Amino acid sequence: MTLSITSDNKASPQALDDDLFAPSPRHPESRLEAEWLFLFNKLPPDQWFGADYAYKTSGWLKVHTNIRKRQRILTQISTAYQSGEFGWSEYRSQILKRINMHVLKLHQHHGVEDEGFFPKFIRMYPQLQEGFEILRRDHERLDALLDELQAQNDQLSRTEVEDKVLAVQLHQTLVDVTNLLSQHLSDEEDLVIPILGLRQG
């Protein structure tokens, strides 16, 4: 925390107020450094859907909403099986195609960001490069987890006789993806949405 110090060596009331009300990232585990938040502070989350910004920000946020929703549904299906609410065949019929679709869409999403958007944003704001490097490394970790999830799903598609060990392994991978995704998406939004909202044209 930095405060402006006045000549008599006391923090000015204005600086104290500014510090108190400065927006902070939306989750306590945010990995974004304070100096990367200069755009976030200009366009905090409560303004992302404002009339002046929503037409520029809502597309990206909607994609993330859909990712979170698909991930939540997969976890719900897996939990329903683990708790005995779904039998083996119901579990397989609900989850197999959904995992295929989710993995495919997430790989595509990461590719578009790594190859298109992120390099463009770094050219616009070179001082954010390190932040985007965190996000790019997240994609590598996520893609490895998604490959694992896909391999488990492929095995599930071939396994007509109940295999509880496989289902537990798949459930754990889903939990791992959920944890990393939730941190990644929030950090990405805090970095990217203000760029999109404040972009001219």
Whichever of 188 and 190 has its CB closer to Fe ion, that residue is: 188
- CB-nearer residue toward Fe ion: 87 or 116: 116
Rounded least distance, CB 29 to Fe ion, Å: 16
User: How far is Cα 92 from Cα 115, in angstroms, rounded to an integer?
Assistant: 34
Minimum distance from residue 192 beta carbon to Fe ion (Å): 7
In the complex with Fe ion, the residue whose CB is nearer, 114 or 163, is 114
Binding mask 160-199 for Fe ion (x = CB under 5 A): ----------------------------x-----------
Closest approach of Fe ion to the CB of residue 196, in Å: 12
Got the DSSP string for 62-105? HHHHHHHHHHHHHHHHHHHHHTTSS-HHHHHHHHHHHHHHHHHH
Nearer Cβ to Fe ion, position 53 or 118?
Answer: 118
Output the CA–CA distances (angstroms, integers) from residue 104 to 86, 109, 128, 143, in the order listed.
Answer: 25, 9, 28, 10
- Minimum separation from the CB atom of position 28 to Fe ion (A): 20
CA-CA distance, 73 to 123, in Å (whole number)? 37
Report angle CA 72, 76, 82 to the nearest 5 degrees: 140
Q: Which is nearer to Fe ion, 88 or 117 (CB)?
A: 117
- Half-sphere exposure for 194 (CA within 13 Å, toward CB): 20
Instruction: Give the other-Cβ count within 10 Å of 11's Cβ.
Output: 13
Size of the site for Fe ion (CB under 5 A): 2
End-to-end CA distance of the chain: 35
Count of CB atoms situated within 10 Å of the CB of 158: 7
Footprint on residues 66-85 left by Fe ion (CB under 5 A): none
- Closest separation in Å from C-beta 53 to Fe ion: 18
Q: Write out the two tokens for 104.
A: 């495919």
**Residues 102-121 as x/- pattern, contact with Fe ion by CB under 5 A:** -----------x--------
Nearer residue to Fe ion within complex by CB, 56 or 96: 56
Q: Which residues of this protein are in contact with Fe ion, per CB under 5 A?
A: 113, 188
